[in-house]
Amino acid sequence: MNKKFKKYIPILFLLVLTLACGSVQVGVVTPTSDDTQGEDVNVNDPAATVTGGGQNSGDFSSLWVEYWDPKYNYGVALPSHWIVNPTATDSVDGGYMNARSYTNEYRTAYSVKGNWIGGEPPVGAVSMDFVAFEGVLPEQSVEIAINNYLGGDQSVILSVEQITVGRHIAYKVTEANINDPSDTYHTLVFRIKPEIMLLVVAYPQDRIDSADVQAILGSISFSKSEPIIKPVIAPFPPLVIGDIPVLPTNTPLPAGACDPGYLGTPEEVQDVIKYNLEIGNYYPFSYMMGNPFVIGYWQGEGVILPREEALNQLKSNYLPLPENVISTSDPALFPSFGGVKFEDMWDPEVDVVAALYSKGWGADGLGEAMLAIARCSQNGNDSYFWYGVMIAGMGFK
């Protein structure tokens, strides 16, 4: 594999998971400082220059803004709420820009260890990398240059297809994992100057066909003498923590089945529940809760409900306000329960392996809860989920 491209493997395949550099919200038409990365700039900041568009009937161009790359001088239109990591002007032999439809906080709320909960990003979540490579021989054909920069010891090029994207010629490159030919992915390649190629990748791959990504690609300009074409369509609205609806699922899972949303360790379940209680985001619970789910009442009867109904009950009556909640996974701080181990208080056929103790529940904040985390074993693999909760309206006494 070309040594220059090796430097950007982490960019193309890991940047979407964790953006080490900072980001700016779109609204900076041309970042001019080397220090732009690492700053958060809001669209409404007076220091951010936005080229607006008229919003006539059916014209939503005002919801898009222009991004001009500070190093390579290409431009694209992006939805005004997108987040951008601009190209560093001091990069050597190349550089990259990342644009995405979600904030770091949104990604954290709906992922565990960099992986989207449930394995698929929410609708509207998309990230795009624009990676530039310098040093292409001007007399070299694009096809030869692509073979020099892509493929190698990790992937193999299956095809290079010339296509038209907006006003420009592009090359759609299909590659496959060298160890798994069925694992294919696509890259768009533009030759923006005789000696510079621009690679564009969308994550997840199938969202390259989404309306927003297609509008972005159609807007691209390679010179300020060529205006960016602002889309007139309305972009997908901003992604907000807590706005994703609970997935409908009223059918209890068969015994022994493990939901795809279940996590790999009890600690992951504890951490995700604790974090999302603290920010008031309940969407991940729709994946992590067992189906059915058990709600028990301290010194009283309990109920077994389908997951969706149980989550609605918790949200309506019991879950704590973010400013009230305090949670711990330290057994030394758990209520004593008269010397009975909490994990042993549940159906013996359920493998409850860990717990979370939480205070501040209920509208008055006086309630407490013990959350049971259970193991699900299937096909020799273990995963973990939120099996049930025991609620004490006035605390465990």
Same domain? For 110 and 15 the reply is yes
Q: Tell me, yes or no, whether 357 lies in a domain.
A: yes
For residue 225, pLDDT over 80 is answered with yes
Quote the number of domains for the chain. 2
Rounded to whole angstroms, what are the CA distances from 259 to 182, 206, 244, 268, 319? 25, 24, 19, 15, 23
pTM value? 0.59
Same domain? For 273 and 365 the reply is yes
Q: Tell me, yes or no, whether 261 lies in a domain.
A: no
Q: Tell me, yes or no, whether 237 lies in a domain.
A: no
Same domain? For 310 and 212 the reply is no
Which residues have a Cβ under 8 Å from the Cβ of 221 and sit 6 or more positions away? 74, 75, 76, 227, 228, 229
Q: Does an H or E element contain 105, and which?
A: helix 104-109
Same domain? For 206 and 346 the reply is no
Give me the chain's average pLDDT, please. 79
Same domain? For 274 and 166 the reply is no
Token pair in block for residue 137: 């021989």
Which residues have a Cβ under 8 Å from the Cβ of 86 and sit 6 or more positions away? 24, 28, 31, 36, 37, 67, 69, 70, 97
**pLDDT higher at 28 or 118:** 118
Same domain? For 205 and 285 the reply is no
Same domain? For 176 and 277 the reply is no
Whether residue 272 contacts residue 263, with contact meaning beta carbons closer than 8 Å, is answered with: yes
Whether residue 351 contacts residue 375, with contact meaning beta carbons closer than 8 Å, is answered with: yes
Give the SS3 label for residue 70: coil
Give the SS3 label for residue 13: helix
For residue 114, pLDDT over 50 is answered with yes
**pLDDT higher at 301 or 245:** 301
Which residues have a Cβ under 8 Å from the Cβ of 33 and sit 6 or more positions away? none
Same domain? For 318 and 182 the reply is no
What does the pLDDT read at residue 191? 93
pLDDT in tens, 15-38: 333 333 345 554 434 433 333 333
The CATH number of the domain where 355 resides is what?
3.10.450
Same domain? For 369 and 285 the reply is yes
pLDDT in tens, 178-199: 888 888 888 999 999 999 999 9
Considering only CA atoms, give the Rg of the chain: 25
Whether residue 276 contacts residue 104, with contact meaning beta carbons closer than 8 Å, is answered with: no
What does the pLDDT read at residue 93? 67
Q: Tell me, yes or no, whether 224 lies in a domain.
A: no
Same domain? For 64 and 170 the reply is yes
Last residue of a domain, one of 183, 202, 219: 219
Domain that holds residue 275: 266-392
Last residue of a domain, one of 186, 219, 252: 219
Same domain? For 148 and 273 the reply is no
Per the listing, tokens 């732009």 go with 36
For residue 384, pLDDT over 80 is answered with yes
What does the pLDDT read at residue 58? 67
Which residues have a Cβ under 8 Å from the Cβ of 383 and sit 6 or more positions away? 258, 259, 262, 263, 264, 375, 376
137 HSE (CA, 13 A, CB side)? 10
**pLDDT higher at 224 or 91:** 224
Q: Tell me, yes or no, whether 204 lies in a domain.
A: yes
Last residue of a domain, one of 219, 241, 256: 219
Same domain? For 195 and 326 the reply is no
Per the listing, tokens 């001007």 go with 138
Q: Tell me, yes or no, whether 17 lies in a domain.
A: yes
Q: Rounded to whole angstroms, how far apart are CA atoms 263 and 387?
A: 12
What does the pLDDT read at residue 241? 80
What does the pLDDT read at residue 188? 93
pLDDT in tens, 135-168: 889 898 888 888 877 766 778 888 889 999 999 9
Q: Tell me, yes or no, whether 29 lies in a domain.
A: yes
Indicate the burial class of 137 (C-beta count within 10 angstroms; 0-12, 13-18, 19 or more).
Answer: exposed
Q: Tell me, yes or no, whether 151 lies in a domain.
A: yes
Listed in order, strand segments (DSSP E) in 114-195 are: 115-116, 127-133, 155-165, 168-177, 180-193
For residue 238, pLDDT over 70 is answered with yes
How many Cβ atoms from other residues are within 10 Å of residue 215's Cβ?
A: 21
